[in-house]
Amino acid sequence: MKKIFITLSILTVFSACTSSKLAPIPKDALKPTVTTQPTPNDTDDPAIWINHKNPSESIVIGTDKEEAVGGLYAYNLKGEIINKITPLNRPNNVDVAYGFSYQGKKIDIAVTTERANHKIRIVSLPDFKLIDNDGIDVFENEEIRDPMGIAMYTQGDKIYAIVGRKDGPSEGYLHQYLLADNNGKIEAKLVRKFGKYSGKKEIEAIAVDQELGYIYYSDETVGIRKYYADPTKGNEELAFFGQKDFKRDHEGIAIYKTSNTDGYILVSDQQANYFNVYKREGTNGNANQHELVAKIPVSTVECDGADAVNFNFGSAFPKGFFVAMSNGMTFQLYDWRIIQAEIDKQAK
């Protein structure tokens, strides 16, 4: 059975890569450590949930973004589907938060955008159950309401969802919501509208640096924008980088932390099948100066979404891993040591 799964996965990826409409994989592309089982329709974005008590039972959560019959899928670290929530109406992106106060106790949650219903959906972890009473409306009273990107920010006991959409205004494109349990019903309070938008394509990929308190998002075809995650610090744009480093679309963003302050920001150069790497801590002592330090050739095909984590999951991933969506209905997991070796090689 396992041999059949691997063969089907390779055929799926090969079919996607040989399509004349998709970007070719670089000849020197890194090979994934694990490729997940395919979903029925169209993968889009992954998130990693760490099981701190038993790291080997951590899961990767990924969206299958088809309208009406899409879903949210849970994978073990071998890439096998172990749970799912279907149907969902075009779930786009997903992120994870730890220690949400719900019904008198702390739980972990995954939050995904349900684009076609103009909602976010909340799932308890690791049992993988919807707990949102049919979803929470977002972008209410706005002309454009289709949510796409999402990232979670935890500040003490407060947990925020930062939500992007398919299209929007040149200012205030993103909305930030404070999530709270009200007698078993989860509510989302809008605390700010922020974020510039070029109007060139769309904003989907959003990532939060919890320790340093920053939000990054991809203004596709234009660059990566940076803001404070704390809504009380204002809406000043702190950085706008990567403007000349991409073939076309700036897509999925992952943050890998080597310490509380240092690490890497990896951003999908979608039509080139590379991930561009920037220093998390900035350059030349300037925390908001992010210069390209490496271009990682990957086997993921036209990647939309990605995530990364530095955590010891055991012998397979002792330094954590990087996971990226790949066209062909799969997600690919890379042992971080493979990524780091490529970054180090290019730094020489």
Q: Which residue has the higher pLDDT, 170 or 7?
A: 170
Q: What is the pLDDT of residue 20?
A: 52
Range of the domain at 106: 2-347
**Which three-class secondary structure state does DSSP give residue 66?**
coil
**Which three-class secondary structure state does DSSP give residue 17?**
helix
The domain that holds 45 is classified in CATH as 2.120.10.30
The string of pLDDT tens digits covering residues 102-118 is 999 999 999 999 999 99
Say if strands 292-297 and 274-279 run parallel, antiparallel, or are unpaired: antiparallel
Residues whose CB is less than 8 angstroms from the CB of residue 144 and which lie 6 or more positions away in sequence, other chains included? 165, 166, 167, 168
Please classify residue 130 by burial: count the beta carbons closer than 10 Å to its beta carbon, then call 0-12 exposed, 13-18 middle and 19+ buried.
middle
Q: In the predicted model, is pLDDT for residue 321 greater than 80? A: yes
**Per-residue confidence at 306, pLDDT binned at 50, 70, 90?**
very high
Q: What is the pLDDT of residue 6?
A: 37
223: left (phi over 0), alpha (psi -120 to 50) or beta: left
Q: Which two tokens mark 331?
A: 């997600």
Q: Which residue has the higher pLDDT, 333 or 8?
A: 333
State how far the alpha carbon of 31 is from the alpha carbons of 28, 83, 94, 178, 310, in Å.
Answer: 9, 26, 24, 39, 19
Q: What is the pLDDT of residue 21?
A: 82
Give the end-to-end CA distance of the chain in Å, rounded to a whole number.
Answer: 44
Q: In the predicted model, is pLDDT for residue 19 greater than 60? A: no
Q: What average pLDDT does the structure give for the chain?
A: 94
What is the rounded average pLDDT of the residues 139-154? 97
DSSP structure string for 247-304: SS-EEEEEEEESSSS-EEEEEEEGGGTEEEEEETT-BTTBTT---EEEEEEBS-SS--
State how far the alpha carbon of 205 is from the alpha carbons of 99, 247, 289, in Å.
Answer: 24, 17, 20
Neighbours of 323 (CB within 10 A): 29
What is the rounded average pLDDT of the residues 309-324? 97
Q: In the predicted model, is pLDDT for residue 39 greater than 60? A: yes
Split into its structural domains, the chain has a count of 1
What is the rounded average pLDDT of the residues 18-23? 66
The string of pLDDT tens digits covering residues 213-226 is 999 999 999 999 99
**Residue 268 one-letter amino acid:** S
Prior bond of 126 cis (ω within 30°): yes
Q: Which pTM does this prediction carry?
A: 0.94
| Tokens 């012998």 -> residue | 315
**Per-residue confidence at 348, pLDDT binned at 50, 70, 90?**
confident
